[in-house]
Amino acid sequence: MPEYEEFLIYDKPIPYKDLLIYPVTVDNYISFHFYSLCLSLDKNSVPDPAVISMSYLEFLYYTSTTAEIPYLYMFKELLKMVLHINKDEAFHFAMSEKGKAYFTINGVKYTSDDADKIIDIIMTQNLIEHIDDSIQKEVRDEMEKAEMYKRNQYKMCSFEDQCVCILISTSLRFEDIYKLTIRKFSKILERVDHKLHYEIYLSAQMSGMVQFKDESKLKPWLADLSNNDKYADVKVDAEQMHKTIDEINK
């Protein structure tokens, strides 16, 4: 997001009202990804109009009485992590007399709208994908499986091995890697992988022995790697499949 661009580039904490929201570093990678599960609950897929009409904060309160997983506790632990506040007593979650969910941090009140903005900052800072509510959950799940298979038929290596990949591909030591923000860690890993494949594909084409039909494989290693529509390839395949079926049925 443009409004956060300078903070994201230089890994600076993003101010929000009285708060400073810090990017999470790699040494907290495992804890962060566990606690951050509370940010990506598919609230609107619950077949209950009352739930769909809830704010996300209200939904977290609701899950504290209906789900086995303590999402509200996870949200508090996540806030402690990104705000660099270690005291449990600094946080208080409650409902107003009108039934509105809110929480306080060091005595300052934050509403459901504040929670939405704080969650958005955390997800943006740490490269967590937002749920695309415009796509039905069942369809989204199938497209996710298809995209993973199309892009990489091999299971992604473990977090430990990802650290090893960066170690052997850069001059960084493990101590340096652990100090990186998760955002920079992910971007370095993506760029290292792209650079390696670009060099292999370019060498193959320059040899004259290989000619790629898909020129996107030769995208320069300094090219923009952002993907605004992660399901684009799958959607094209689906459209082609429907077209073929229609032709067969004529």
Dihedral of the alpha carbons of 151, 155, 160, 162, in degrees to the nearest 10: -20
How far lies 5's CA from each of 30, 161, 187, 226, 229, in Å? 26, 30, 15, 15, 20
- One-letter amino acid at 178 equals Y
Q: What is the pTM of this model?
A: 0.82
Q: Tell me what pLDDT residue 243 has.
A: 54
Residue pLDDT tens, the chain, 250 long: 578 999 999 999 999 999 999 999 999 999 999 999 999 999 988 889 999 999 999 999 999 888 889 999 999 999 999 999 999 999 999 999 988 999 999 999 999 999 999 999 999 999 999 876 666 555 555 666 656 655 555 678 999 999 999 999 999 999 999 999 999 999 999 999 988 877 777 777 777 677 766 666 677 777 888 876 554 555 555 555 455 545 555 5
Residue 232's pLDDT is 52
**pLDDT for 247:** 56
Phi, then psi, of 85 in degrees rounded to 5:
-120, 115
Contact 109, 102 (CB under 8 A): yes
Note whether 165 and 143 are within 8 A (CB).
no
* pLDDT in the model for residue 228: 63
Q: Where are the domains of the chain?
A: 2-125, 156-248
